[in-house]
Amino acid sequence: MSTFRKEHDFLGEKDIPNEVYYGIQTLRALENFNITGIPISKEPLLIQAFGYVKKAAAMANKECGVLAPNIADAICQASDKLILGEYIDQFVTDMIQGGAGTSVNMNVNEVIANIGLELLGHKKGDYDYLHPNNHVNFSQSTNDAYPTAFRLALYIKIGIFIEALNKLQLAFAQKAEEFKDVLKMGRTQLQDAVPMTLGAEFHGFSTTIKEDILRLEEARLLICEINMGATAIGTSINAPEGYPEIVTKHLRDITGIPVVLAEDLIEATCDTGAYVQISGVLKRCAVKISKICNDLRLLSSGPRAGLNEINLPRLQPGSSIMPGKVNPVIPEVVNQTAYYVIGSDITITMAAEAGQLQLNVMEPVIAFSLFTSLAYITNACHTLTDKCIVGITANEEICKNMVMNSIGIVTSLNPILGYETVSSIAKEALLTGKSVHQITVQERGLIAQSKWDEVFSIENLLHPKFISN
């Protein structure tokens, strides 16, 4: 049976179960915000990041001589436990909440305070010795602690996503090499265009992913600018002189993340433009990966009544009524994940725009949206790589036959016969169903068989060069 301790804030008193490490303000948040049903403990990187923030703050306060060494050391030791992933079940506030993240910050402050109290030989709730606000939150406000922790966690999460993209890019590059000699028909507007190789197509997929990795790395640098020491609105009220620079240095040293102090702390406290930029790059990645998945579904369509140029891994039956049907389920699920990321970008955009005066209170939904989008798109990339890309095979003969029977190959005759003549050949082929070879060589005698063989040799089609009379 639970026993309780009494805690108070300026609104009154509440009974807090003795076994928990959070306090009255966390309990109020638990009662008030039942929105997503997802507690902040589901984002352990955010809790770890808060551990870094509170440790760096305690170290800076100790260095500035405004916090007793034994108190600062207890806060550092308690913060280290958060960094290691301990006490994760004590972080119970909902990911989306009012108050600009105050409930999250106080959840952290209260847990660290009560861990620290036990380390000092006191009972949980004996805040005369170590107080959540007076000590753990010293020289801070939610308005600098929350966004700084958010940015640290976001930096790490983006790094995890980049690793997934690197893996996906490598898988496409390996397929590009595997398919480098597979001749196929290129298409524009879903119509036959000119010959190419399947390897070149997959190389294009690899290149587009590589470009997105570069854009992510650029955008990631934006969130290295932090506003620690800004306190409430950027004036550094209640922080000792030199504290912002000192706490930033400690944070950089203990995390290894290249954080820098914002030049204008008032601007940095109310501006969320970096999140909009990050979200935009995530949307770009999602759009391009989804487009690739569209291509994979088209290229594997059929198998008898579609393109059937490639085979995707056969993972599960595709119908409850049609025997033998196998669906492109992995590209389909990645498509849907991309739609979620694209939708989240709208949420982030609106939340960033909703900031008023010296603070944007909508940062919790920005954090929730970015964390969720990153988690989903990272999982989608691993799924696409492991369950689809690495297992793709080519139907080489089907690809080649499509080229040789295509009207699109007439483009290769332009330098020899001229556009007008070639256009008439294409028109006749379309109307009669005859092959380009039959019309050009056999019926009209426009070029010799030897010239045809030169133009449409596998070597020339794989590696096109200018051929004229």
Q: Distance (Å, rounded) from C-alpha 112 to C-alpha 80? A: 10
Element containing residue 466 per DSSP (H, E): none
- Rounded CA-CA distance 94/367 in Å is 12
The one-letter amino acid code at 435 reads S
CB-facing half-sphere around the CA of 29: CA atoms within 13 A: 27
Residue 349 CA to residue 366 CA, distance in Å, equals 9
Place of tokens 């979620």: 340
End-to-end CA distance of the chain: 96
What is the phi/psi pair of residue 260, to 5°?
-135, 150
CA-atom Rg of the chain in angstroms: 31
Written as six digits, the tokens of 323 are 């025997």
Say which residue the tokens 């040293």 belong to. 253
Pairing of strands 12-17, 393-394: unpaired
Give the up-direction half-sphere exposure of residue 172: CA atoms within 13 A in the CB hemisphere.
Answer: 24
d(CA 195, CA 249): 57
In 189-295, which ranges are E strands?
191-197, 225-226, 260-261
Is residue 223 within 8 Å of 154, Cβ to Cβ? yes
DSSP 412: G
Q: Which of 370, 298, 289 is nearest to 328 (CA)?
A: 298
Q: C-alpha dihedral over 373, 288, 347, 90, to 10 degrees?
A: 10
**Active site annotation includes 320:** no
**Tokens describing residue 441:** 């060589």
DSSP H or E segment with residue 67: none
Pairing label, strands 393-394, 310-311: antiparallel
Tokens in use for 281?
A: 């790059």
> Which of the residues 236, 319, 406, 435 is marked catalytic?
319
Please name the helix (run of DSSP H) or strand (run of DSSP E) that holds residue 403, with its range, or none. helix 396-404
Report the catalytic residues: 319
